Amino acid sequence: MSETLPVAIVGGGISGLGAAHALHKAGVPFRLYEAAPRLGGVIQTDLHEGFVLEGGPDTILAQKPEGLALARELDLTDRMVGTNMEQRTLYILTGGRLKPMPEGLALAIPTKMWPFVRSDVFSWPGKIRMGLDAVIPPRRGEGDESIASFMRRRLGGEALRLLGEPLLAGIHAGDPEQLSITATFPRFVEMERNHGSLLRAMLAAKRAAPAAGASHGAPGAQGGQGGNGRGPMAPFFSFKAGLGELVDALVARLPADALRTGRALESIARDESGWTLAFAGGESVRARALVLAIPAPKLVPLLQPHARDLVQLLETIPFVSSATVLIGYRREQVAHPLDGYGLVTVAGQRISTMALSFLSTKRPGSAPEGHVLLRGFLGGARDPDVLRMADHSLVAAVIGDMRSHLGLSGAPLFSRVYRWPQTTPQMTVGHFGRMEQIDRLTGTLPGLFLTGAGLRATGIPDCYGDAVKTAEAARAWLG
């Protein structure tokens, strides 16, 4: 252990790799340590007989500039695949029936009047209550609130049950009563603040969009211009061989001898010249600056001996577990047209599946000709014990939930289960306030930098963006 590295990065997900990429471009030597045998963290793509299996994230939101910028920088634009622009229906399973959500729904806000009025997803009182958003005065005060409180206040209880829980909280696999609206959907807060109403903000964004020619209108806007400047851009994108291409391209740009997998960090110690990292198996290394890009629950035991206050705050960031179940069929085994991105389910029904993506429709090229690929999503705040179920039970649960609604017949060609223990952060009410304190307390430990999902960011583009900023802070600190 004679050498002292300028920077050690721990965690090889998009956050750790993003920090490594930024340091490498700036000419700062580093070494990255990852506990698993592979890099990418929750980004895990497997190719199976012509199917592209995404075990973790399946697409990147195009509206966030960081993801597109990274794809361009890694020369991946010719490999990009946008999500299907023709078949974008989202279904909802409610009251035992599968119904299409009205056209023009931008995340949780209707942007087209007639499809919404004609839709049988919402009751008449529910629709009228949602319409009242246009006249209900905006909230006074700056304090944070939950997704549930925000939705109830602006759009009513039915909108919370049919949109807020399955769609908004569902993106974070979370409980709408707990999740912070400011941390998860800041645009909604801005819309209320700037326009006094979500519906009015949407209309203003729609009016402005053609003039501005930009995609940065409404949250979850379905399309728009942008990306390569060659015309309409899909709302989400991936790559021909899946998101694994992004990880491979990032790794290919980094010096191979700076990447160490199979190294789980067990403890850290600090003295005036820097940090000493001890890994499982006995290896240790010294570094002047330490970038930890691992989930908060994994930070807790490492930081416990150094900063109790900081640890107490990190413990307030809960993480939930989930599972994804990928199932392949021949096209004729599925009666449903699968003419959309998939379906969400309403809580409180006797089903385990929270959402199901029609991946072969949503992301063209995910399945070979004449085949379909479905992906069930289970667990999260709705079912915290989901990972107690065996693989075959998870597969049976998804097929059982969907058989009659999608008209599934016969045994699937294959199924594969991916387990995600404690990997999805819950940014709960007051998150950003606590984050300010976390940042302040981290600053009292010289040379320590924290990034990763659940702190200042979540999702691939934001995690990458935060990692780049964190790497810049580490470089500036090194001088």
Ligand X SMILES: Cc1cc2nc3c(=O)[nH]c(=O)nc-3n(C[C@H](O)[C@H](O)[C@H](O)COP(=O)(O)OP(=O)(O)OC[C@H]3O[C@@H](n4cnc5c(N)ncnc54)[C@H](O)[C@@H]3O)c2cc1C
Binding-site ranges for ligand X (CB under 6 A): 10-16, 33-36, 41-43, 56-60, 264-265, 293-295, 298, 322, 324, 420, 423-424, 452-453, 458-460, 463
Residue 167 CA to its chain's centroid (Å): 13
In angstroms, the CA 19 to CA 407 distance is: 46
DSSP-derived secondary structure letter, 34: -
Residue with tokens 């609604």: 405
Cβ 45 to ligand X, closest distance in Å?
A: 12
Between CA 371 and CA 227 the distance in angstroms is 30
Q: Which is nearer to ligand X, 10 or 130 (CB)?
A: 10
Name the one residue in this structure whose structure tokens are 């409980």.
Answer: 175
Assess contact for 374 and 358: CB atoms under 8 A: yes
Rounded to 10 degrees, the C-alpha dihedral 144/18/380/126 comes to: 50
102/459 with CB nearer ligand X: 459
Give least dist CB 463 to ligand X, A. Answer: 5
Q: 197 or 423, CB closer to ligand X?
A: 423
Crossing angle between the packed helical segments 186-195 and 198-212, to the nearest 10 degrees: 90
What CA–CA distances, in Å, run from 104 to 46, 75, 183? 33, 33, 25
| Pair 254, 261: CB distance under 8 Å | no
In the bound state with ligand X, the residue whose beta carbon lies nearer, of 68 and 460, is: 460
Nearer to ligand X, 202 or 386 (CB): 386
| Nearer to ligand X (CB atom), residue 21 or residue 127 | 21
Which residues are 5's β-sheet partners? 287
Beta carbon nearer to ligand X, 155 or 292: 292
Closest distance to ligand X from the beta carbon of 118 (Å): 30
**DSSP label of 79:** G
Q: Residue 359 corresponds to which amino acid?
A: L
| Upper half-sphere CA count for residue 38 (Cβ side, 13 Å) | 10
Collapse the DSSP code of 90 into the 3-class scheme (helix H, G, I; strand E, B; otherwise coil) and give the result: strand
